[in-house]
Amino acid sequence: MTPIRSTVQLSDGRELIYFDETADSGRAAYPDTRQLPPPPHASQLRYDPLVDEWIAIAAHRNTRTFLPPSDACPLCPTTERFASEIPAPSYDVVVFENQFPSFSDRIAPDEITQVTDLVPVRPGLGRCEVVCFTSDHNSAFGALPPARVRTVVDALADRTAAMSQMPGVAQVFPFENRGVEIGVTLHHPHGQIYAYPMVPPRTAAMLRAAARHAEKTGGRNLYADVLAAEQAAKVRVVAANEHWTAYVPAAARWPFEVHLAPHRQVPDLPALSDAERDAFGPLYLDVLKRFDGLFGKPMPYISAWHQAVVGEGRDLGYLHMQLFSIRRAADKLKFLAGSESAMGAFINDIVPENAAQLLREAA
C-alpha cells in the first residue's frame, strides 16, 4: 500500500511531510507551537584546486543538538511537556527539512565569491532532510517490520523524485548513521537525505570508472558486470532473494561491508517496481540481524544509497545500498588514521571472503 502523504509547515517555514500507513490519521492538523528563529543561510562551497573537489563550510552546524536526554529528543512526537520537531503526538514515517542543514536554498545576502584566485566560492544550494523511521525512541531500523521498511523506501523514493527536480541538484543521497561510534548526535532511529549541489568525490570516481568500462566493453554497465561476477562466484554472497543480492565486495574497504543490489539495473529508488520495493525489506532486515549477531551487540553502521546522478552520466548509474561498519572485532574499531584520512588509501583488517563467511554464519 502506498503511504498517505500530508504536508505541514513548521513555525520557521521549514517543510514537514507525514507518510501515514492508515488513512485519516489527522496528524497534519497539529500545529507547531514553538517560536523558532529563521533557518540558517546556505553553507559555502569552496573549491579545493589541489584535488578538484568542492568543500562545504557550514559553521551553523557546530551548534546542532547533541545527544539530548530521551525526554527532550527533537525526533520524538510532541508531548505536553516537550514540543519537538514533529508536532503530532504519533507518526509512522516522517520527513522534514533539517534545522541545521549542510545545504539549503537560503542564500546569504553578503555571499562572497572568491577567497583567492584559485579558490572560488559559491552558495551551498541544495536541501537536507531528516527521515524518522518510527516514533519509538528505543527502537532501531533492524527492529522494524517489513511493511514499515516498505513505507521508508516509498518515502525515500518520493523525496528523491522531488529533490532531483530542484535547481542545481546534482545527486540525491539517502543514508543512515547508527551508533555513537559512527558519530550520531541523536539516538532516535532516523536517517537523512542530502541533495548535493555538486557530484561528490566517490560518485565522481565511480562515474569515471563506469565510463571507462562502458567504452572498453561496448556499452556494458560496470556495476551490473560486478554484480553478475559476485553472483557467479557465490563465495562473497551473504544472502539473496528473487529481486536482490547482498554480497561483500571483493575489494571491500571496511571490516564488514555489504552491498545490496537489485537484479535489474535502475537509476534510483523511484524506478524500483512494487515487487522490488517489497523484496528489499526482508533481505535488508536479515543482513542487519547478521550485523548485530556478529558480536552479540548492536553494530554501529552507515547505510548509504548510491543513486544515479541527475545530469550527465545518469545512464552509468546502478542503484545499490552500501552498508558498512567500523567495528572490526568485539572490542576494536577501525579508525581512519594516517593512510586512510591523509591519503585516501584504505587498508582492510579482514579478508572479504572471511567477512562474508562470518556474516553467513551469524544467522
pLDDT of residue 110: 73
* Topology match between the domains 4-198 and 202-361: yes
Q: Is the pLDDT of residue 16 over 80?
A: yes
Mean per-residue pLDDT, 293-312: 97
**pLDDT score for 23:** 93
Where does the chain have alpha helices with state H?
146-164, 201-217, 222-233, 274-294, 343, 352-361
Residue 305: the pLDDT is: 99
Give the pTM. Answer: 0.97
Of 5-19, 23-37, 100-114, the least confident: 100-114
Distance (Å, rounded) from C-alpha 309 to C-alpha 301? 24
* pLDDT confidence of residue 107: 82
DSSP output for 186-232: --SSEEEEEEESS--HHHHHHHHHHHHHHHHHTS--HHHHHHHHHHH
The model's pLDDT over 175-216, given as tens digits with 9 standing for 90+, comes to: 999 999 999 999 999 999 999 999 999 999 999 999 999 999
The residues annotated as belonging to the active site are 190
Where do the structural domains in the chain lie, given as residue ranges?
4-198, 202-361
294 neighbors 359 (Cβ within 8 angstroms): yes
C-alpha cell at 66: 547533541
Q: What is the pLDDT of residue 1?
A: 76
For range 239-249, the mean pLDDT = 98
Burial of 16 (0-12, 13-18, 19+ CB in 10 A): buried
Does CATH number 3.40.50.20 belong to domain 4-198? no
pLDDT of 363 over the 90 cut: no
Amino acid at residue number 284: Y
What homologous superfamily is domain 202-361 in, according to CATH?
A: HIT-like (3.30.428.10)
